[in-house]
Every structure is written in structure tokens, then in C-alpha cells.
């Protein structure tokens, strides 16, 4: 019979203690490495929720010909708003546009909040107010008359669930995002006739507005501006030093032209790419330098912040990525999606 040595119980205890310590460290590391909580992703005709282990669960399937866009977590994490979008196919007499729905994060029947009022009435971006009683929506309306383009308008609206219709907060604005306390918001504002504009930050009703980024040679196009939880910075996607195609609104994606097509053909790019390659940028609100955080040259990156503001997650055609706010630690954590959108849950877990 083998006899245990006197040292074995102590050694065994040390192994058990070490294992528990490592398990605790591993658990803590997972918490630190997953500051986004649950992510909601618009994937083709599916609205999916990605949990911290990386798996995705389908929450909503949209009808044929429509796609879920601009998903947004409610402040308490119990609900999700999204747009059921029917894109323009070139048929000017067809009915197309975006309808806003809200669905429980645990699953259930989506509730229609706002139906598009005419063909061409689209939604560009959604955000919740702090108490969860209203949504902010960028409304972009394109009008055709007798089959010909007749113009476009856009404005940032507040939609109260209690009724009362839409209230315009900021003319010429789309892509709203709101700070954690709900006091301030960021948005993209653009004059559709002149193309002038940029990213602005203001109080929730539009007062005390200040411009953070202007369209120009450095930023000919800007997509997905998102304000940080504390309101000290705005993250956005933009091409680096590209030239906007004449006649293309600065806030919309400009298609490559001439030498841009040649460069795009020579550089690595996603096969499904449909515009100028873009990267992620961070602009401080107030004084400070704008910082380019990535050099991935991705297609249509959609941006969201972690709940503590230390990282940014972005979703593009070529992948799902995270990056630290200083530009370090770029990681690809999942598959991308053509025209995909993303939001991160800021509500505390539990």
C-alpha cells in the first residue's frame, strides 16, 4: 500500500489554492476584456445579440426585402430599438423607407413606434433618452416627382412613446448618440445643398451646440459619429485624406472615382466593399488633437463605445473589431457584415 508523504496534503492544498486563484484571475480577466457587455448587431435580415462568450442569438428576423439597421440598447438594457429598412432599388414609384420598432431584449413581438410617412422616408441613426421614454431619430426624406429626383430633407427628431408625434430638435441633423447621463448628444449636421457641416455636440434639446469636426479635405465623408459615455470625445469612421466625388453629400459614402478606383484596386480591400475605405477616429470635445485609431481601411464601419469609455468596438464588412481609445490593442473578434450596424450595452450587468 502506498503511503502518502507528510508533504502531500500541504502540496495538494497549494495546488488547489493556486487553481482557485488562477480561476479568479481568469474570471476577472474576462470581465475586464468584455467591457461591452452584450452587443446588438444588424446582420443581413437578422437582428442578433452577441453575449460575452462570443455566441450570437437571433432576436428578430425581418421580412423579405427589409433589413434591421441602427439598433440601440435602452438605458436599462431591457429593450432594443431598431429600424426595419426597405432600401431604394431604383424604382421611383416603389414604397421604400424605414420603420422604427422596439423589442424586449429577452425576445418577443416587436412594437411599431414610427412608420415611414411616405416613400423615401428613411431613418439614419437611433438613440434613447436617459429615462427610456423617448427615442431620437435622424429622419432623411428623399422625394421623387413624376419619376425624377425632387430634393431631400433631413432633421433630428424626438419621438415620445406617450404620443404627440415627432418633434424636430435639430434641422439638417442625423446619426444621434447620447451620453450615459442623457444630458448631451452628438450628431452629424449637414446642409444638403452646399455639403457643408460636420459633427456637433449639444445639449439634448439642441442648445449650447459646438462643432467638433468639420467636413473638408481631411474628412470629406463621416459616418457613425458616437459620443463617449462621459461626453468627453466622439468616435467616428472616415476615410483618411480622400477626395469627395463632386455632387455627393459629405455625410454620405462617396464612391471611388478615377485614381481612387485604381488605388482601391491595388490595395487590399473587402470584395463586397461599396465605398471609400474608412478607419476609426477619436475627436476630443473641446481642445485636443483628432487621433486616427486604426489603419484597417474597412468598408462602412459602424462604431460603439464600451460602457467605461476605454475601448471602441466597430462592425464592418470585413469583421467585428475592438480597439483601445489610444489606438492600441486592435483585435478582430468576429465576422463582419455588409451594411451592418452595431450598439453596445452600457447597462451594468446583473
Domain ranges of the chain: 37-344
- C-alpha distances in Å from residue 137, one per residue of 49, 140, 156, 193, 256: 22, 10, 6, 21, 29
CB-neighbour burial class of residue 225 (10 A; exposed 0-12, middle 13-18, buried 19+): buried
83 pLDDT tier (thresholds 50, 70, 90): very high
| Residue indicated by cell numbers 448618440 | 177
Residue 5, pLDDT above cutoff 70 = no
Strand partners, 305: 312
Residue 337 is given by DSSP the state -
Helix (H, G, I), strand (E, B) or coil at 334: strand
How many other CB atoms are found less than 10 A from the CB of residue 331?
14
Cα(186)–Cα(285) distance, rounded to whole angstroms?
Answer: 10
Mean of all residue pLDDT scores within the chain:
83
- Compute the CA torsion angle 268, 274, 280, 286 (nearest 10 deg): 140
User: pLDDT at position 246, please?
Assistant: 33
**Residue 164: is its pLDDT beyond 80?**
no
* More reliable by pLDDT, 14 or 40: 40
**Structure confidence at residue 269 (pLDDT):** 33
What 8-state DSSP symbol labels residue 28? Answer: H
Residue 16 above 50 pLDDT? no
Residue 274: per-residue pLDDT = 59
Pick the CATH number of 37-344 from 1.10.600.10, 2.30.30.100, 2.40.110.10, 2.120.10.30: 2.120.10.30
Q: What pLDDT is attached to residue 7? A: 37
Determine the 3-state secondary structure of 326 from DSSP: coil
The Cα 129–Cα 127 span in angstroms is 7
Query: What is the rounded CA–CA span in Å between residue 16 and residue 35?
Result: 29
Give the C-alpha separation, 49 to 60, whole Å: 10
**Contact, 37 vs 77, CB < 8 A?**
yes
Where residue 244 falls (left for φ over 0; alpha for ψ -120 to 50; beta otherwise) is beta
Band of residue 163 on the pLDDT scale cut at 50, 70, 90:
confident
Query: For residue 26, is pLDDT > 70?
Result: no
Least confident of 107-116, 237-246, 254-263, 322-331: 254-263
Q: Which residue has the higher pLDDT, 210 or 34?
A: 210
The CA-CA-CA angle for residues 266, 270, 275, to 5°, reads 80
Average pLDDT value for residue range 132-157: 96
Backbone region of residue 125 per phi and psi (left: phi > 0; alpha: psi in -120 to 50; beta: other values): left
The residue-averaged pLDDT of 92-120 equals: 96
Cell of 84: 426595419
Q: What percentage of the chain has pLDDT greater than the value 90? A: 71
Residues 96-117, mean pLDDT to the nearest whole number: 97
Q: Quote the pLDDT of residue 34.
A: 62
Q: How confident is the model at residue 27 (pLDDT cuts 50, 70, 90)?
A: very low
Query: What kind and span of H or E run contains 127?
Result: strand 121-128
C-alpha gyration radius of the chain:
23
Amino acid at each position: 500500500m502506498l503511503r502518502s508523504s507528510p508533504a502531500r496534503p500541504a502540496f495538494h492544498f497549494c495546488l488547489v489554492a493556486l487553481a482557485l486563484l488562477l480561476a479568479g484571475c481568469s474570471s476577472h480577466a474576462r470581465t475586464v476584456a468584455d467591457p461591452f457587455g452584450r452587443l446588438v448587431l444588424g446582420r443581413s435580415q437578422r437582428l442578433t445579440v452577441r453575449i460575452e462568450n462570443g455566441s450570437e442569438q437571433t432576436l428578430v428576423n425581418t421580412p423579405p426585402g427589409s433589413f434591421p439597421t441602427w439598433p440601440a440598447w435602452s438605458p436599462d438594457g431591457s429593450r432594443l430599438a431598431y429600424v426595419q429598412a426597405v432600401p431604394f432599388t431604383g424604382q421611383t414609384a416603389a414604397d421604400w423607407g424605414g420603420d422604427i420598432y422596439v423589442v424586449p431584449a429577452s425576445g418577443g413581438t416587436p412594437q411599431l413606434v414610427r412608420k415611414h410617412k411616405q416613400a423615401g422616408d428613411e431613418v439614419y441613426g437611433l438613440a434613447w433618452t436617459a429615462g427610456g421614454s423617448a427615442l431620437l431619430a435622424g429622419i432623411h426624406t428623399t422625394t421623387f416627382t413624376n419619376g425624377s429626383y425632387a430634393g431631400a430633407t433631413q432633421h433630428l427628431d424626438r419621438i415620445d412613446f406617450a404620443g404627440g408625434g415627432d418633434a424636430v430638435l435639430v434641422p439638417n441633423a442625423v446619426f444621434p448618440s447620447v451620453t450615459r447621463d442623457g444630458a448631451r448628444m452628438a450628431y452629424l449636421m449637414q446642409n444638403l445643398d452646399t455639403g457643408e457641416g460636420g459633427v456637433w455636440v449639444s445639449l439634448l434639446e439642441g442648445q449650447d451646440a459646438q462643432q467638433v469636426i468639420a467636413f473638408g479635405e481631411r474628412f470629406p465623408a463621416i459616418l457613425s459619429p458616437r459620443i463617449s459615455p462621459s461626453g468627453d470625445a466622439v468616435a467616428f469612421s472616415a476615410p483618411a485624406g480622400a477626395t469627395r466625388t463632386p455632387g455627393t453629400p459629405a455625410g454620405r459614402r462617396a464612391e471611388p472615382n478615377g485614381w481612387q478606383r485604381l488605388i482601391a484596386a491595388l490595395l487590399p480591400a473587402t470584395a463586397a466593399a461599396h465605398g471609400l475605405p474608412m478607419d476609426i477616429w477619436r475627436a476630443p470635445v473641446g481642445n485636443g488633437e483628432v487621433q486616427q485609431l486604426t489603419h484597417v481601411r474597412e468598408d462602412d464601419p459602424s462604431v460603439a463605445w464600451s460602457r467605461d469609455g476605454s475601448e471602441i468596438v466597430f462592425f464592418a464588412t470585413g469583421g467585428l473589431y475592438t480597439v483601445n481609445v489610444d489606438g492600441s490593442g486592435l483585435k478582430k473578434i468576429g465576422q463582419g457584415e455588409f451594411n451592418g450596424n452595431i450598439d453596445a450595452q452600457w447597462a451594468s450587468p446583473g
